[in-house]
Amino acid sequence: MKKLLVLAIVLRILVAGLLFHPDIKTYNYQASFLKKGVFNIYTYLVQNNKMLPIKDDFVYFPLTYFVLGGYQAAISPIFGNGLDSWLANAGSNSVVNDPNIFKYLIALKLPYLVLDIAIAFLLKRFFDDQEKAKKAFILWLFNPFTIFLVYAFSNVDIFAVLLTVIAFLLLKKEKLILASVALGIAAGFKLYPLLFIPFLFIKGKDLKEKVFIVLIPAIILGIIVVPFWSQDFVQSALISGLTTRIFNPGFSIGFGESMIVGLFSISILFFYALLVDKKPKLFNYWVVLLIFIFAFSHFHIAWLLWIAPFIVILAVKKPALSLSLFFLTALAFVIPILYDDRSMTISLFRVYSTWYDLISTPFAIVQKFYDPYNLQSVLHSILAGGSLVIGYKLLSKEEEK
Amino acid sequence: MKKMIWLTTLSVLFVVFLVPAILAMTLKMVPAGDQPGYNSDQRLSIYGKRGVSQEFVSKEKNLTAIGTSIRNLNLKNKKEIILSLYDENNKLIRTSVLNGQNIQDGDFVKFVFEPIPDSLNKIYSFTIFSPEAGPEETIEVFYINSPTDSILEFTYDEKTHPGGLPIVIFHKPQSKWEVVWKVYSNWFSRLLRLTSG
């Protein structure tokens, strides 16, 4: 096991140091203002936009700013001004040609490595059977998806993912209130864990517990968000495209109204759990809820990490599903790679050479032969179909017998 | 589980060590350097008979393209944009034509032509015109005031100035392996500088 762990860490460091998604530089540049004493990053960035070399908004929730900013403050004595200068450098080529980029990338992604390994150990605790626990541990560390999701795409969502895993461990021990606390803190990084609160509400034993389950995450999120509440925060983080994409309208039902497919499917799921399912298994509902998000929304590749630990648990619990799960995960991975976005593919390799800027993206290559949007739609439809069947199997009582 | 361990290990090694080589092998041309920085307020209008000419030095063999940034506000220019390349004796040797409708505002565009094998350290000049465009279909190119080791001087409105368009000169590599070698050697040299620094 120790050898495997070392191998897993080596593979992660290779990807962390050699593949570069520009987001990591952007949000770490923004987080670097914490050590300069900036508390409200949302307002600061808007007010100082003209004089800043990098002008993007901070699209994440406050805990991301404080955790990343705090970590940077801790490591800044090691790197001195070099890291700060690199983060503030807006030059597209000089950033990747800096020989220190490898150590900067590894240093900035180091917290992800700690959380990633922590998730591997937490996944073991979902199983009483030692063999299955070991299988989950290995499957988390050795699957080609999560390594690239976390370290190539610099996936800051791992903070929220770890907390949702903790929430489900607490749920397994029937500690619903503590689970809702974990979800509330997770929402301080990213809002999506709140989608699970209605399902946790159903599980509450009595009205008092149900009220606590709903109120606690709301209060925690309120404490985290209220100090920053402003037009700048709302525009930058709360209603940013990434936060609200799940609730983008699906199809028109006339007279200006639209059916929001993502919300519609989550609603079906909730009322099914409430009214039909006598003994709802919350783990299955969480997996199906996330599956619906990927089936019915134009998702960002980073979101796939939200479901990854739960897919690992599912694959260990139900080995018969593992091949289908692997295929559907691979499909879900390919769809964003076909987006018209260089940073999904070619740009990740700019550390090796900026000459790669001359290479066509998969989107542009497909465009020569076929409509790439149509290809995305075809793949997404297959993903949605397969996902629905997996969802059906998870919720069907027959499956449990 | 063993299969997954192998699959994951090989996937990572393939992506970090082999994919860069595969990508390098797809490159049909490589730039001789980075585009010089420029002031976006310094622009020259091009339409009708109003064009720009510029002298430059090719620092590599197999000159095959000249790239620069072009403003085409609201895609107003949908006409031909012609780059004509001349040798030291002012003899037309290559022509490359782009269409304005394919040029988004601020795009970095490449005028590609047949490679010139013996272009190493030779002085060339080019002109850029959009002869069918009227004043309302103006495109704009940026310029820099000071010459570089390859950008020498430019002529606009019959006046010659030092500097020119912030161009990138591209050349066709001798072989695919040459590109792979250059990419990896550059990458390794930066890695070594990291460890020594």
**Does residue A399 have a pLDDT over 60?**
no
B188 within a domain of the structure (yes/no): no
Is the interface score ipTM higher than 0.85? yes
Q: CB distance A355–B5 less than 8 Å?
A: no
Residue B109 lies in a domain: yes
- Let me know if residue B2 belongs to a domain: no
The residue among A240, A19, A174 whose CA lies nearest residue B19 is A19
d(CA B135, CA B127): 18
Count of structural domains, chain A: 1
Please tell me if residue A80 touches chain B, with a CB cutoff of 8 Å.
Answer: no
Is residue B97 within 8 angstroms of chain A, CB to CB? no
The CATH number assigned to the domain holding B58 equals: 2.60.120.820
In chain A, the residue whose alpha carbon lies closest to the alpha carbon of B11 is: A144
Name chain B contacts of A139, Cβ cutoff 8 Å: 1, 4
pLDDT computed for residue A398 by the predictor: 56
Residue B59: pLDDT over 50? yes
Distance CA B15, CA B8 (A): 11
| Residues from chain A contacting residue B190 (CB–CB below 8 Å) | 97, 99, 101-102
pLDDT-derived band at B197 (thresholds 50, 70, 90) equals: very low
Closest-approach residue (CA) in chain A for B29:
A358
Alpha carbons A168 and A285: distance in angstroms, whole number: 12
Q: For chain B, give me the number of helices (H) and strands (E)?
A: 3, 12
Q: Which domain holds residue B106?
A: 32-171
A147 CB within 8 Å of a chain B CB: yes
pLDDT of A274 > 70? The answer is yes
Question: pLDDT tens-digit profile of A345-398?
Answer: 999 999 999 999 989 899 999 999 999 999 999 999 999 999 999 999 998 865
Domains identified in chain B, total number? 1
Helices (H), A19-148: 22-31, 41-47, 62-79, 81-88, 92-97, 101-124, 130-141, 144-147
Whether B51 is covered by a domain: the verdict is yes
User: Is B154 within the bounds of a domain?
Assistant: yes
Residue A129 belongs to some domain of the structure:
yes
Distance from CA of A279 to the nearest CA of B (A): 33
Question: How much is the average pLDDT of B45-64?
Answer: 92
**How much is the average pLDDT of B124-130?**
94
Cβ–Cβ of B187/A11 closer than 8 Å?
A: no
**Is residue A399 one of the residues assigned to a domain?**
no
Q: Phi and psi for A122 in degrees, rounded to 5?
A: -65, -35
- Sign (positive or negative) of CA dihedral A283, A287, A290, A296: negative
**Does residue A102 sit at the B interface (CB-CB below 8 Å)?**
yes
**Cβ distance of B12 and A11 shorter than 8 Å:** yes
C-alpha to C-alpha distances, A27 to A64, A101, A241, A339, B128, nearest whole angstrom: 9, 16, 16, 22, 41
Cβ separation A100–B187 shorter than 8 A: no
Q: What is the mean pLDDT of residues A20-38?
A: 92
| Residue A89 belongs to domain spanning | 2-246+257-394
Region A310-325: what's the mean pLDDT? 93
Q: CA–CA separation, A30 vs A66, rounded Å? A: 11
pTM of the model: 0.87
